[in-house]
Amino acid sequence: MVSNNQFKTEQEAFWSGDFGDEYIDRNRGDRILAANTALFARILSRTHSLHTLIEFGANIGLNLTAIKRLLTDIKCSAVEINQKAAAELRRMQDVDVFPISILDYRPEETRDFAFTKGLLIHIEPAQLPAVYSVLYCSSHRYICIVEYYNPVPVECAYRGHKGKLFKRDFAGEMLDMFPGLTLVDYGFAYHRDSNFGMDDLTWFLMRKGNV
Ligand SMILES: C[S@@+](CC[C@H](N)C(=O)[O-])C[C@H]1O[C@@H](n2cnc3c(N)ncnc32)[C@H](O)[C@@H]1O
């Protein structure tokens, strides 16, 4: 079902509308920023010489803000479907904002690091191969996926909504789809972590060839 003509999928209409607007106010603040900083310190320690990156589904920039604290000269780009969130991203310094769906984004330049955090789980599963291609074509070095993992595809209720949350082995599917990708490292962020609790996210850092 597509509930908004502007978009291909009902999930895009959902995030661009009231649910997406309300998500912004529920998810901001110093605790989230601290947890993101701790998470990306771990991930980025497995990379080197990053100068450019792009996040898909960046919301108001809580990951980008954390990363900019760690890599102070990094040039950031962000793709975000929700216009209220994109407006906040535009207020950040040195962030190139694409206020569109990842399904409409055409990679015209590549970055050192392309990533998603909590985006793939909200994509209509039939669209995942196209989204994996966008991620792959947006980076010439690293690709990072921070999402809910499940060994087989499952759908779960999301705050009482159906068809809005899917868990699977996103990184494994990308590694199968693109033989040129290799796994660099992976890890887990646990909600019971006493300092930097996070939503049980699993991260996978991959790279293209040996660059
Ligand atoms: C669960 S939030 C995660 C936000 C952020 N990545 C983080 O880690 O805090 C999902 C984000 O992806 C955005 N989003 C959902 N579907 C999208 C799509 N098709 N294209 C671009 N952004 C999308 C939502 O508007 C929202 O900002």
For atom 1 of ligand 1, which residue has the closest CA?
118
* Whole-structure pTM value: 0.96
Q: Domains in the chain and their CATH numbers?
A: 10-208 (3.40.50.150)
- The predicted structure's pLDDT at residue 3: 44
Higher pLDDT, 94 or 142: 142
* Lowest model confidence (mean pLDDT) among 3-12, 51-60, 137-146: 3-12
- The predicted structure's pLDDT at residue 211: 61
Distance from the alpha carbon of residue 191 to the mean position of ligand 1, in angstroms: 20
Alpha-carbon distances, residue 103 vs 11, 90, 111 (angstroms): 11, 21, 18
- The predicted structure's pLDDT at residue 209: 81
Confidence band for 210, pLDDT divided at 50, 70 and 90 = low
For atom 13 of ligand 1, which residue has the closest CA?
57
- The predicted structure's pLDDT at residue 6: 85
Q: Contact at 8 Å (CB) between 117 and 58?
A: no
- Residue 1 clears pLDDT 70, i.e. is over it: no
- The predicted structure's pLDDT at residue 7: 94
Residue whose C-alpha is closest to residue 123's, from 109, 138, 104: 104
Confidence band for 80, pLDDT divided at 50, 70 and 90 = very high
Confidence band for 190, pLDDT divided at 50, 70 and 90 = very high
For atom 3 of ligand 1, which residue has the closest CA?
118
Distance from the alpha carbon of residue 162 to the mean position of ligand 1, in angstroms: 17
Ligand 1 lining (C-beta closer than 6 Å)? 12, 15, 20, 56-59, 62-63, 79-82, 85, 101-103, 117-119, 122
Structure tokens at 146: 């921070």
For atom 19 of ligand 1, which residue has the closest CA?
101
Distance from the alpha carbon of residue 60 to the mean position of ligand 1, in angstroms: 9
Q: What is the mean pLDDT of the chain?
A: 95
Mutation test residue for ligand 1: of 77, 81, 158, 161, the one with most atoms within 8 Å of CB = 81
Give percent above pLDDT 90 in the chain.
91
Confidence band for 29, pLDDT divided at 50, 70 and 90 = very high
- The predicted structure's pLDDT at residue 2: 40
pLDDT digits (tens, 9 = 90+) for 121-175: 999 999 999 999 999 999 999 999 999 999 999 999 999 999 999 999 999 999 9
Distance from the alpha carbon of residue 104 to the mean position of ligand 1, in angstroms: 14
Terminal-to-terminal C-alpha distance of the chain: 42
Contacts of 208 (CB under 8 A, 6+ apart): 136, 139, 140, 141, 142, 143, 180, 181
Residue whose C-alpha is closest to residue 186's, from 209, 203, 210, 168: 203
For atom 18 of ligand 1, which residue has the closest CA?
101
Amino acid at 62: L
For atom 23 of ligand 1, which residue has the closest CA?
57
Backbone angles phi, psi at 124, to 5 degrees: -55, 120
d(CA 108, CA 162): 34
